[in-house]
Amino acid sequence: MYKPYIVKSLNDPETNSVIKENTPTKVRKVITKETSKEVRRALESVVTNGSGRNAYIEGYRVGGKTGTAQKVENGQYLVGNYILSFIGFLPADDPQIVVYVAINNPKRVVQYGGVVAAPVAKAILTDAIEALDIERREGDSEMKYDWDDKKYYTVEDVVGKTPKEASKILSKYNLEYSGSGNTIISQSPEAGTRLEEQSTVRLMLGN
């Protein structure tokens, strides 16, 4: 646990020299490394196959937890009035960023944090991947897809195959051919790439 602070530094307005700078200060150790690893593993499963699946990012290990809190006024629960939240982090095995999103009393939506707040957190985390140059890494648990989920598969190698053979192997994708001949001489994206179902795979024909 670290001592919290808001302002990173106080600077002289004219010279911009630093008058005072706050740095991370450890207060105490809260849990063991082993417990932390187990909690991260559990929170990753929330995103891969639990209520936080709307924060799942293909090819990256995301952990998180949803929140759905009914609000109280004068000692009574309010009807249809909630705070919907999601806290997420990535990579789950070596966290570089944590995002917390809370939405107060959203209207005309399903009242669950995983439905409302998780997609917002996913958008922020997706931008963070590029900003922080976070590398892709496969998780320990794969997502079990529901019928309405976007499904991703690994593109297989069809170089050296005939168009007929390629169409059977890559049946989950839309195929575009260029060139002429009876043999696939190159493909894009290359084999091993994770690609959403019905995406386009371009195949170059030759002899």
Task: Supply the DSSP symbol for 94.
Answer: S
Residue position matching structure tokens 């024909």? 205
Residue position matching structure tokens 């849990």? 31
pLDDT at 192: 82
pLDDT at 142: 62
Please, what are the averages of pLDDT over each run of 10 residues along the chain (207 residues)? Answer: 93 93 94 94 92 89 94 92 96 94 90 92 94 80 62 87 93 92 92 84 91
Calpha distance 80→107 (Å, rounded): 9
Calpha distance 145→151 (Å, rounded): 7
* Beta-sheet strand order (sheet of 97-104): 63-73, 76-90, 97-104
Angle, CA 164 vertex, CA 158 and CA 170 arms, to 5°? 45
Q: Domains of the chain by range and CATH?
A: 31-131 (3.40.710.10), 152-206 (3.30.10.20)
pLDDT at 140: 56
